[in-house]
Structure 1
Amino acid sequence: MAKVCSVCEKGKVSGNHVSHSNRHNKRTWSPNLRKVRAIVKGTPTRVLVCTRCLRSGKVERSI
């Protein structure tokens, strides 16, 4: 299972970790994903959704 939001398709982002002495090292930022039961195409399924989509109401959760 990929670390990608199933609603907005937000995924990993890469960049540099910059130390105090200005040395650069590669690093990644992962989205804050939660495994929730949501209604997709009329049926409840378990999907990975980022917390931004959950908070904004873009996901219809099933009980």
Structure 2
Amino acid sequence: MSNVCAICGKGVSTGMKVSHSHIRTKRTWKPNLQRVRAVVNGTPTHLRVCTRCLRSGKVQRAV
């Protein structure tokens, strides 16, 4: 299962971890995804949605 938001497409980003002595190693930042039961085209389905999309109201949750 991919680590991508179903609404906005936010995914894993990469960069460098930099220590105090400036030694650089690769690291990743993963989005905060939640498995949510949402209404899509009138039917409830399960989606993996980031918390920013949930908080901003871009997802209509199924009851």
- TM-score, with structure 1 as normaliser: 0.97
Could you tell me which residue of structure 2 aligns to residue 28 of structure 1?
Answer: 28
Q: Which runs of 5+ in 1 are unaligned?
A: none
Q: CA offset at residue 4 of structure 1?
A: 0.4
Kindly report which structure 2 residues correspond to 1:1-63, keeping only aligned pairs within 5 A, or say none: 1-63=1-63
Q: CA offset at residue 36 of structure 1?
A: 0.5
Q: What is the RMSD of the two structures over their aligned residues, measured on CA atoms?
A: 0.5
Moved over 3 A (4+): none
Offset from partner CA, 1:21-45 (integer Å, 9 cap, x none): 0000000000000000001121100
When the two structures are aligned, how many residues end up with a matched partner?
A: 63
Q: Which runs of 5+ in 2 are unaligned?
A: none
Q: Distance in 2 between matches of 1:40 and 1:3?
A: 20
